[in-house]
Structure 1
Amino acid sequence: MVVTLGVAEHMADGVTKVGELARRTDCDGESLARVLRRLVANGLFEEPAEDEFTLNEAARVFLEPGPLRGGLNLDGHGGRLAGAWTGLLDAVRSGRPTYQGVFGLPFWEDLDAHPGLAESYDSMMVEGRHVPDPAVLVHDADWADVRHVVDVGGGTGAMLAEILRARPHVHGTLVDLPRTVARSGEIFGPAGVADRATVAPQSFFEPLPAGADVYLIQSVLLDWPDEEATRLLTRCAEAAAPNGRVVVVGGVSADRAAGKGGLLLMVMTGGKPRSLDEFRVLAAEAGLTVSASGESPSGHFIIESRPS
């Protein structure tokens, strides 16, 4: 709540009296003081005098840009994350995502219906990741034969930009929804790769740009149930045929134990982590055969598949 209201920023500007903090944040002063005292008791903020609150070292984390602020902002995607947990019991009972029952629309439709929420989600996805590792092929020497990469569901293009920076001979196409790829210029321009990057503003359940050497799916399968995941892989197989490869990074692990968890995905989208054996089943249904797997230098598990 204090992130949503910008309380830490006001304190950093020298506003410490709860009355003035309440006025600036359009809150009830007594209620705000009660919340702040609870945080003080937990080591966040200090109350050096009655009704006066200041930052301490622990609370300064709220001033730093990054995924923590996005996740705690209840006016943005963070509020959806918090509210989605109320559907956990029904999700366990039914085996289906319960986001629609909480917010009125399925998760992805909710983003489409609320541009501000979608922007918050896109920003949190970018801020929540470190600089992407461009080593997305199992064998680094294979890059010599790659001329064109299609990043399927690549968001605003952070991963594709790193691939193009690391491989000056490669061109790339970013596939994602129009509202998302519209922000790719913020990534490609500063990275110096805008002349080798194009965008395809579309759903990745539609036919994909064909004929590329690599179709990259990074941390996307994780978001979808088996039926939709198979449809996505099918689109990649169609576009990659006959000689391209489909590369999956994230969301699939070498064994079942490594892929445990995903409870929030269960309630939000019905997505889930998968083992390599589970992925092989989806790949076969989509017309793909797993050709290689292994870890990248940064520890990400990579699976390469080719059209059957």
Structure 2
Amino acid sequence: MLRYLVSMKILDENENIFSVTSCGSLLATNDFMKYYTLLMEIDLETPRHFDHMLHTGEVVFDHLYGMNYFDYVVKHWEYGDLYWKMLRAFTSAKEIVAAYDFSQFEHIVDVGGGEAELLIAILKKATHARGTLFETPKIVKKAVAAIAENDLSDRCKTISGSFFDGIPIEGDCYILKHILHDWDDEKCLQILRNIKASSKANSKLVIIDGVSDDDFTKMSDFSIWISIGGKERNLNEFKHLLNKTGFEFTRVFEPSNVQFVVIEAVSIA
């Protein structure tokens, strides 16, 4: 039975020791699956209209609801609240802080950082650092409250805006957590160029995302494409985006038993 589950990529086997894969972990009862299931009311409608995308190239979700996915969850906050809870459950701030050392930085800018959960966790560990959250106006309001509740208002500020219009914050570290996979290459290049325009020489860019070499990310690639027009990428595709925008790939961290990697790059002159 166990080896059958290995063939289905639900388990891995190494010298007669079996472990759950990232794909198999989705079968477990956890917060991520709870929130994802509640969001299926809007998510499951898109595959039924896949033919529209094939014929027109228009993102299915945009066609069905008259706006993109992110505008929808902001406008309909009953879904938006579930969406942010799902993201927090999918990749915990604790796992990221354990995987990468942020204590080397003085000013950390979390671009599209949601309600500041990750930035709060980083600043609690890197007690000398300052942080700035860059988010859309409605989400910033929630982040301000979370930052105050954690007694970090003196070290953590918020700025609202769109990362497509510009990111007017100079820092020595910029974070993109689960941002780039939401967009096609052209829009990713725009985000990265806006970060580059504000960064100093040798500023670090930290990308936290899945890579399309693992089973879970391969499965999610289709869903992301038809729902929001994004795509999952392998490491070489991330490197290609970095090279075109003035960043140089330096290294990648691959924590075990989690569904993300941490890609580090440096802003070059």
State the TM-score, normalizing by the size of structure 2: 0.76
2:155 counterpart (191, 196, 199) = 196
Corresponding residue for residue 142 of structure 2: 183
What is the SS of the residue equivalent to 2:165? coil
State whether residues 211 and 244 of structure 1, in contact with CA within 8 Å, keep that contact through their aligned partners in structure 2.
no
What is the SS of the residue equivalent to 2:194? helix
State whether residues 109 and 169 of structure 2, in contact with CA within 8 Å, keep that contact through their aligned partners in structure 1.
no
Aligned residues: 237
Q: Percent identity?
A: 24
1:305 counterpart (259, 265, 268) = 265
What is the SS of the residue equivalent to 2:206? strand
How far residue 207 of structure 1 moved from its aligned partner, in angstroms, is 1.9
Is 1:294 matched up with 2:256?
A: no
> C-alpha offsets along residues 95-134 of structure 1, whole Å, 9 cap, x if unaligned?
5521122222222333344344333423332344434321
Corresponding residue for residue 121 of structure 1: 83
Question: Which structure's relative contact order is higher, taking Cα pairs within 8 Å and 6+ residues apart?
Answer: 2
- Structure 2: which amino acid aligns with 1:79? E
Distance, in Å, in 2 between the alignment partners of 1:240 and 1:98 is 35
Distance 1:260 1:244, change over 3 A: same
- Structure 2: which amino acid aligns with 1:105? M
2:49 counterpart (69, 83, 87) = 87
- Structure 2: which amino acid aligns with 1:78? M
> C-alpha offsets along residues 57-77 of structure 1, whole Å, 9 cap, x if unaligned?
xxxxxxx9944443333xxx4
What is the SS of the residue equivalent to 1:206? coil
- Structure 1: which amino acid aligns with 2:183? W
Segments of 5+ residues of structure 1 without an aligned counterpart are 1-63
1:70 counterpart (35, 45, 51) = 35
Distance, in Å, in 1 between the alignment partners of 2:267 and 2:61 is 35
Within-5 A mapping of 1:240-259: 240-252=199-211, 259=217
Q: What's the C-alpha RMSD, in Å, of the aligned pairs?
A: 2.8
> C-alpha offsets along residues 245-266 of structure 1, whole Å, 9 cap, x if unaligned?
111111346x587852322101
Segments of 5+ residues of structure 2 without an aligned counterpart are 1-28
Distance, in Å, in 2 between the alignment partners of 1:235 and 1:256 is 29
Distance, in Å, in 2 between the alignment partners of 1:234 and 1:71 is 32
Distance 1:148 1:297, change over 3 A: farther
- Structure 1: which amino acid aligns with 2:262? I
Corresponding residue for residue 238 of structure 2: 279
- Structure 1: which amino acid aligns with 2:97? P
Distance 1:252 1:239, change over 3 A: farther
1:173 counterpart (128, 132, 141) = 132
How far residue 220 of structure 1 moved from its aligned partner, in angstroms, is 0.9
How far residue 298 of structure 1 moved from its aligned partner, in angstroms, is 6.7
Distance, in Å, in 2 between the alignment partners of 1:68 and 1:293 is 27
Corresponding residue for residue 97 of structure 2: 134
How far residue 222 of structure 1 moved from its aligned partner, in angstroms, is 1.1
Is 1:151 matched up with 2:114?
A: no
Is 1:260 matched up with 2:218?
A: yes
Q: Which has the larger radius of gyration?
A: 1
State whether residues 213 and 240 of structure 1, in contact with CA within 8 Å, keep that contact through their aligned partners in structure 2.
yes
- Structure 2: which amino acid aligns with 1:122? W
Corresponding residue for residue 41 of structure 1: none
Corresponding residue for residue 26 of structure 1: none
How far residue 243 of structure 1 moved from its aligned partner, in angstroms, is 2.8
Distance, in Å, in 1 between the alignment partners of 2:238 and 2:57 is 20
- Structure 1: which amino acid aligns with 2:261? F
1:161 counterpart (108, 120, 127) = 120
State whether residues 256 and 275 of structure 1, in contact with CA within 8 Å, keep that contact through their aligned partners in structure 2.
no
State the TM-score, normalizing by the size of structure 1: 0.68
What is the SS of the residue equivalent to 1:273? coil
Distance 1:298 1:207, change over 3 A: farther
Distance, in Å, in 2 between the alignment partners of 1:78 and 1:194 is 36
Distance 1:112 1:301, change over 3 A: closer
Within-5 A mapping of 1:214-229: 214-229=173-188
Distance, in Å, in 1 between the alignment partners of 2:251 and 2:91 is 25
State whether residues 154 and 160 of structure 1, in contact with CA within 8 Å, keep that contact through their aligned partners in structure 2.
yes
> C-alpha offsets along residues 157-187 of structure 1, whole Å, 9 cap, x if unaligned?
1111110111101111111111112111443
Q: Which moved more, 1:233-242 or 1:125-134?
A: 125-134
Distance, in Å, in 1 between the alignment partners of 2:63 and 2:177 is 29
Distance, in Å, in 1 between the alignment partners of 2:99 and 2:109 is 12
